[in-house]
Structure 1
Amino acid sequence: MIRILKPSDIDAVMNIWLSSNIQAHSFIPREYWMKYFGQVKEMLPDATVYVYEDNGSVQGFIGLTKNYIEGIFVEESMRGKGIGTQLLNLAKQLCSSLTLQVYEKNQSALRFYFKEGFQIKKKQMDSETGQMDFTMEWSM
């Protein structure tokens, strides 16, 4: 079931955020994600966040700010089961166009977004990480 974030979900969501970022971005030091953990947790209520919950457990989430996808994150053991697709499909229902950023080296995310109809619109250097990233867009 997909539903809006509740305050009681924040710890579970942040654990998924941290572990997913560390796992998906092995090319960025773990300390980078640890440094921003508190800031992201504080800003989480400012975004529109939908969680995927099954049997009372949050297994993934998507964060949106208007039509910008802040991120899609799925618990590692639940990846490949369609949760990310369901979360993205919800965003597609809510918005006629979507934009996001993804690191060039995050090949699994790039494959996912290409499969879902996103196109690269811009390539730039992330000044904080020194990594190349893409701005990708999808529209109906």
Structure 2
Amino acid sequence: MNMRIQQAIKADFNKLIEIWEASVRATHDFLSDEHINQLRPLILHTYLPMLTVYKAINDKHEIEGFISVDQHRVEMLFISLDSRGKGIGKTLLNFAISKLGINELDVNEQNVQGVGFYQHLGFEVFNRSEIDGQGNPFPLLHMRIERPNTEAT
């Protein structure tokens, strides 16, 4: 099955939040239902509308995952449970690196699958925070990948 990457629109956000929630429940076992329920409307109504979001869609026009970016940073990368392990996350991340110029991201330290995924693709930890973006005691790893020097002649 072929996959295409397209910019997401507001009409996609309900599907994206479904993918986000299912993925978070599968990979972020340190988050309680209460935390997830607090984050859901924040992501749906605040973060998704203010970020640049791209979706991976298959031949049937089904969204299989998404990535959101802000300037040079990945803010979110989530893949539907049925589509995990098929290279979609890698494709979205490589798209963001090559086409959007991203080179940094944060990942929850307890999300060992995510940490391993980003390390496998060349990201390295350059800093650590004791709390997450909402002030909760979920440490974040700040990761960076070296960009190829395209300015050299």
TM over 0.5: yes
Quick one: which of 126, 129, 132 aligns to 1:124?
129
Normalising to structure 1: TM-score of the pair? 0.93
- % identity of equivalent residues: 26
Structure 1 residue 95: Cα displacement: 4.1
Normalising to structure 2: TM-score of the pair? 0.86
Quick one: which of 63, 66, 70 aligns to 2:71?
66
Q: Could you give the per-residue CA deviations for residues 52-108 of structure 1, whole angstroms, max 9, x where no partner exists?
A: 011111110000011111111000111000000000011111244511111111111
Unmatched runs of 5 consecutive residues or more in structure 1: none
Q: Which amino acid aligns with 1:45?
A: P
Q: Residue 75 in 1 paired to residue 80 in 2?
A: yes
Q: Residue 12 in 1 paired to residue 15 in 2?
A: yes
Q: Which amino acid aligns with 2:98?
A: Q
Q: Which amino acid aligns with 1:136?
A: M
Quick one: which of 44, 48, 55 aligns to 2:52?
48
Structure 1 residue 139: Cα displacement: 2.2
Is residue 97–residue 137 contact of structure 1 (8 Å, CA) maintained in 2?
A: no
3-state SS in 2 of match to 1:131: coil
The structure carrying a bigger strand percent of its residues is 1
Unmatched runs of 5 consecutive residues or more in structure 2: 148-153
Structure 1 residue 45: Cα displacement: 1.8
3-state SS in 2 of match to 1:139: coil
Higher Cα Rg, which structure: 2
* Mapping 1:66-105, distance limit 5 Å: 66-105=71-110
